Amino acid sequence: MSVISLTDCSHAVSLPDGSSLGLLANVSVALEKGQSVSVRGRSGSGKTTLLSILGLLLTPDAGQVHVAGASLDGATDAQRTRARRATIGFVFQSASLVPNLTAYENVELPLLQGGDHSRARRRQAVAAAMDRAQITHRRTSFPRQLSGGEQQRVALARALVRSPAVIIADEPTASLDVATADRVLALLLERCREDGTSIVIATHDPQVAQHAHRRLTLDDGQLHDE
């Protein structure tokens, strides 16, 4: 059974001039457990939109979304949010950390939002996630005191802290130098191998895509295998 699947999903956005821009046209794709999938495509082709739908942040205009075999058809916002929090961790292009919280507190945040952990369990989960992202040594630093790569590793720890089944990464290494980008990517793919976490990565970088099990291109509303 796939972790997340889209069946015949279509989505359009309305432009300021009142016209409509189709981004997805009857797209079907299934993400399997432990699979890494890259999505390439020109700027504006709809990669972020596709990842938002896969990440349950956005409901497509038409089509079916299934999470672990269960349809989200007719789900309320609260049910969708619950499914998202239980299943998905996000890493974005810029780390988007909360500036007035320390690295540790940023990583802890998803656990506090979930509200389902004791203090001791939280401490353990945060320590494990920071360890995996190799950022434990900066736990008391604030985001402004961290380099871009360190901030991105805090963001990765935050995405991992609830041991999500799926990581959605939207150009996670675009703001990093090559060596740091490689390191962040290697960490992401290691999760995939060791924990059976599934990963979807939108990227412009052919080198990044090369590491994925399945390489897709989004073009003119259609997904193609490269």
Ligand X SMILES: Nc1ncnc2c1ncn2[C@@H]1O[C@H](COP(=O)(O)OP(=O)(O)OP(=O)(O)O)[C@@H](O)[C@H]1O
Sketch the per residue contact string, 14 through 43, with ligand X: x for CB under 6 A, - otherwise: -------x-x-----------------x-x
Residue 175 burial (C-beta neighbours within 10 Å; 0-12, 13-18, 19+): middle
The secondary structure of residue 63, as a DSSP letter, is E
Q: How far is the CB of 91 from ligand X (least distance, A)?
A: 14
Which one of residues 11, 40, 47, 153 is an interface residue with ligand X (CB under 6 A)? 47
Q: Pick what 43 binds: Mg ion, ligand X, none; C-beta below 5 to 8 Å, kind-dependent.
A: ligand X
Residue 48 in contact with Mg ion, rule: CB under 5 A: yes
Positive or negative: CA dihedral 67, 223, 183, 95: negative
Q: Report d(CA 95, CA 98) in Å as an integer.
A: 9
Q: How far is the CB of 88 from Mg ion (least distance, A)?
A: 17
What residues contact residue 151 under an 8 Å CB cut-off, 6+ apart? 94, 95, 97, 143
Integer Rg of the chain from CA: 17
Q: Pick what 22 binds: Mg ion, ligand X, none; C-beta below 5 to 8 Å, kind-dependent.
A: none
Which one of residues 5, 36, 38, 49 is an interface residue with ligand X (CB under 6 A)? 49
Q: Which of 195, 193, 136 lies closest to 163, judged by CA?
A: 195
Q: How far is the CB of 44 from Mg ion (least distance, A)?
A: 8
Residue 13 in contact with ligand X, rule: CB under 6 A: yes
Q: Which is nearer to ligand X, 49 or 87 (CB)?
A: 49
Contact positions toward ligand X, by CB under 6 A?
13, 21, 23, 41, 43-49
